[in-house]
Amino acid sequence: MLRSRILAVAVVAVLLLPAGFLSAGHTRPAYLDGCQSMDGRYVVTAEPIKEKVGKKDAIKWKYHWKDTKENKTLSGWLTGPRGLGHFDVTYGHIFVPPGGETFALWLPASWAESDTPHPKGNQGKFSDELVKNPVFGSRLTIYTKTGEIVKTYGMRDLLKPNEWLYVNWVQGNMYWLTEYPEVMKGGEPARCGWRYYRISPDYSVLEFVIGPNSDAVHKVKSEPEEVRNYRRTVRVQLTDGLLLDPNAKVADANKIPIKPFRDALITRGTAKGFEASLDPVRVTGKFVVEKSK
């Protein structure tokens, strides 16, 4: 069912996380980063909206799309992101390809929103019950600017049966992708998700590698070498969701996925207050200290 309730708004909202949100253990500060098109004309940001569900507060996410040249803004609802808490964390990235007609939401390392409980244990194993759990859904969703869903991929769409062995989770963190080694040497990225993907400079092609992350490597150490060293690269075109050949030669450098940020690596536990730029492949973010009230 499409969620395409569209509202016109005058300004683009920018997500600021609560000052009291702390990083501990596996969990890093929650975020859902916006993005602008390569030419800077089109901007999409996300805003957390608090709603009362029974006696509990829940977070729903609204996107705001803006054409900065025509000063036109549209808003609608996103599916998939969760909250801003330690056990209900969101690690989300928005990408805006050229032309601004579509945008993509990528959730690389947190559960998808669902009323279904998380699986028991801490490691996946292929079964019908496991792969159908909606918490593994909504990894990548492509929207039109007016909110219609063009294409959505859950893990059941992206993973082969043998690859569920590499799925593991701790609290609100859910792992199924291999870290890119070059972004984990001498520190870690300020955004949890940055370790798990590459993006083309024009934000139209996403790349990620399915295989064991650093935790899963230890959990499969008794498996044969081909299981321990398994890696499969996936590339997706973010205008329509087409799966691309990751080995194909690409002439346009703006469509070749690269490291998704320019920021320096940080030490664990120092990501609090970080605010990514809307053009992270070219522009660094900043650390924002909220003044005490």
Q: Look at residue 249 and tell me if it is in a domain.
A: yes
Q: Which domain holds residue 142?
A: 31-267
pLDDT at 16: 37
Q: Give per-residue pLDDT as tens, 269-284.
A: 888 899 999 999 999 9
Higher pLDDT, 177 or 57: 177
Q: Look at residue 12 and tell me if it is in a domain.
A: no
Q: Give per-residue pLDDT as tens, 200-250.
A: 999 999 999 999 988 788 888 888 999 999 999 999 999 999 999 999 999
Q: Look at residue 272 and tell me if it is in a domain.
A: no
Q: Look at residue 223 and tell me if it is in a domain.
A: yes
Q: Look at residue 197 and tell me if it is in a domain.
A: yes
Q: Give per-residue pLDDT as tens, 113-150.
A: 888 877 777 777 778 888 889 999 999 999 999 999 99
- Angstrom distances, CA of residue 122 to CA of 167, 205, 279: 9, 31, 35
Q: Look at residue 21 and tell me if it is in a domain.
A: no
Number of domain units in the chain? 1
Q: Look at residue 134 and tell me if it is in a domain.
A: yes
Find how far residue 43's CA is from the centre of its chain: 17
Residue partners of 122: CB distance under 8 A and separation at least 6? 168, 169, 170
Give the span between the Cα atoms of 39 and 236, in whole angstroms.
21
Q: Look at residue 4 and tell me if it is in a domain.
A: no
Give the span between the Cα atoms of 171 and 169, in whole angstroms.
7
Please report where in the chains the tokens 């320096």 appear, as a residue: 264
Give the span between the Cα atoms of 189 and 259, in whole angstroms.
11
Q: Give per-residue pLDDT as tens, 228-239.
A: 999 999 999 999
